[in-house]
Structure 1
């Protein structure tokens, strides 16, 4: 039971403060409902249409959603007029796919209370992220961009040189993407060239993106969820992401919260805060993915918005630490966190393990079996249906039919229950 979400009391009473949510495509319903339960009024703004059914939620098409035109001054005036009788205090970007315009809107509507639109590319283009990390003397992944203006011959030369330099141990992915779409681990140089010629590289929610070649970093993969306000950062949760790499693609198996002690003497909080500073994150929620090789951390990507998967990661955080990203954001808005200080995960008396398991490509029959099974599991905590489908050969996050959060003080119980659930996936 998600006690933090269901029983949160409103601290504001009738004097509601209004928060703008611009394109809340990731965990949007969770974000909106949690803000409302904490006493905020919410106004949704949509700057682009949602072409992918995975990110499309009914509330994005409600009559009271404000639709922008792309004219900055006109859109700001429209938003101000639509909310003039309400107490508009702040806003959040809901997806990296429209961050260029979201940053402009929010910095215009809330001067000095949002991130600099001049540095937007640092927060959604993977190549720009790596360049910024290198400039700030942080570990960076060797990266080559196959730019649109390059001739095919120049691209082939760049591929060949980089492939040899890395001993063939590389990955290929778009400069910006969602849910691991477009990610490949090529088995040969020819496979890269073939991928360049045949793939459209059009990512969900994104326009045509340039391709990147990156040295493959070996190690354990982790995530971190943070909140930033006026340059101060709060680390809400850290977890490990277990993945399988098969046939050149990546498949996420589960995500599990971990304590900072999992990194031994490495100061993971200091690293995450340094990444946020290097990418000029001063305000908003962030989901960060990185790899730890035992000595250093390497940023995979930063997503400048709430953690995705329909609120699953924040549900785990609320269960383990009593607070999620939205609770911490509320604390910043109300001044309950001391200004000028930096914060890490507070120790919790709750020693239970929290793990989110992914079930892929469930048809309606298998979904019903999964729901029945979940209700019988000893570690059952929360589950949610995302979408149903027939069997598929792909296992990107957009193929997840259902997530199941397991929680127990005995990790062996969680392992046992997870194995039972994964038997129901068409591909596992």
Structure 2
């Protein structure tokens, strides 16, 4: 293994975060992994590649001990690999006195959705009216005062639609509150508080950004589609948005204000925005890379991707600062399709995915389960079976292949599960 005293620290290098260290290593630098908890969350464990790192430090709650472990190195940057690493990455970066640190005082606002909304309100940025409490009666009073259904009830700091429920009646609010309160989220953290929020009606978008010294670059924008099952939003697919589309400028103009308000001056940003009749309104922003993606598919479509742009912002700072305002074009149509399991069961045989692989616009797929695993009914990004990227210069080909994929998927899970 190559060793370089100049290192990057990756905190929780899971899901998309697994792609960061290999790219840094390929540029001649070394990486150290900081594990935010004693045990890696089971859903994340298969994505951790320890061989990408010269050292793995397990955080025990004492940041000074982590700093001590790093005394023999010159740390260039601290990067969160996934959501669980965001706050710890902020803490370590500031403890090391790195100039690429984000404001520690706003660290929780970059994870806690209610604090995030309050931050936008303080800066007079359009936002969704919301309320948080650990008491059901207070939540119900807010809903009654809001006077309009539907409303959205969700955990404060989870992700991937985990625990999110769209409620059309006061009884549904009660049920949603009880389903969230004191229950572990997908990051294995107890939900000590519940958030209720105005329902945002419109078209949802994903905006992925990279920032350096307060200069923000839009890497890619996706139009996202979901299906509602019993009030639970389930991801269907996301399609790449071209810069020529009318909403593009509105979206990046809005998200730059959000990034400034949250003081995300360095690093990746992954934001979900609803384009309402009143304009763009934030659903949430995460100070990290988008999860569950294939960077190569995005690169095929746009010539850039979230991971490489993030790494380049550190390793080629001057180049980034000279080109951050350049808008990436769209070379090919791309659709990020989420596989959806309608039922649960034990996987008894390997899935036959050849019919998907043979699709003309097929680029890549990720299937998260193996024989012997328990496949569960899809209710969020925490339990979806996998995803497929379709990429082509022919938009109709992508649409046709998507329809074929969904038709094939109808029998996929019953064939492999008992």
Q: Structure 2-normalised TM-score?
A: 0.87
Alpha-carbon distance change, 166 to 274 in structure 1, aligned in 2, over 3 angstroms: same
CA distance in 2, matches of 1:290, 1:265: 12
Mapping 1:6-405, distance limit 5 Å: 17-50=6-39, 52-57=41-46, 59=48, 64-81=55-72, 84=73, 87-146=74-133, 148=134, 152=135, 155-163=136-144, 165-199=146-180, 200-205=182-187, 206-264=189-247, 266-309=249-292, 311-312=293-294, 314-333=295-314, 334-337=316-319, 339=321, 342-347=324-329, 350=331, 352-361=332-341, 364=347, 368-369=351-352, 371-388=353-370, 389=373, 392-405=376-389
CA distance in 2, matches of 1:58, 1:338: 29
Shift of 1:222: 0.6
CA distance in 1, matches of 2:24, 2:310: 10
CA distance in 1, matches of 2:86, 2:13: 11
Describe the SS at the equivalent of 1:368: coil
Alpha-carbon distance change, 164 to 419 in structure 1, aligned in 2, over 3 angstroms: farther
Tell me, which stretches of 5 or more residues in structure 2 are unaligned? none
Deviations, residues 177-224 of structure 1 (Å, cap 9, x unaligned): 022111111232022223333544321223334111101010111101
CA distance in 2, matches of 1:402, 1:161: 37
Describe the SS at the equivalent of 1:74: helix
Tell me, which stretches of 5 or more residues in structure 1 are unaligned? 1-12
Describe the SS at the equivalent of 2:55: coil
Shift of 1:77: 1.0
Deviations, residues 301-358 of structure 1 (Å, cap 9, x unaligned): 111111100x32x33331122221232233322234364885252335x2x2011111
CA distance in 2, matches of 1:240, 1:286: 17
Alpha-carbon distance change, 47 to 79 in structure 1, aligned in 2, over 3 angstroms: farther
CA distance in 2, matches of 1:114, 1:102: 9
CA distance in 2, matches of 1:393, 1:346: 37
Deviations, residues 357-395 of structure 1 (Å, cap 9, x unaligned): 1113497578622x2112210111111222245553333
Please list every run of at least 4 consecutive aligned residues from structure 1 whose deviation after the TM superposition is greater than 4 angstroms. 13-17, 60-63, 362-367, 388-391, 425-428
CA distance in 1, matches of 2:322, 2:47: 40
Shift of 1:79: 2.3
Deviations, residues 92-148 of structure 1 (Å, cap 9, x unaligned): 0223334333211111224322111111112111111111111212111010111x3
Shift of 1:243: 0.5
CA distance in 1, matches of 2:3, 2:413: 50
CA distance in 2, matches of 1:338, 1:401: 36
CA distance in 1, matches of 2:281, 2:413: 29
Shift of 1:19: 1.4
Structure 2 residue 396 is matched with structure 1 residue 412? yes
Aligned residues: 401
CA distance in 2, matches of 1:58, 1:133: 34
Q: Structure 1-normalised TM-score?
A: 0.85
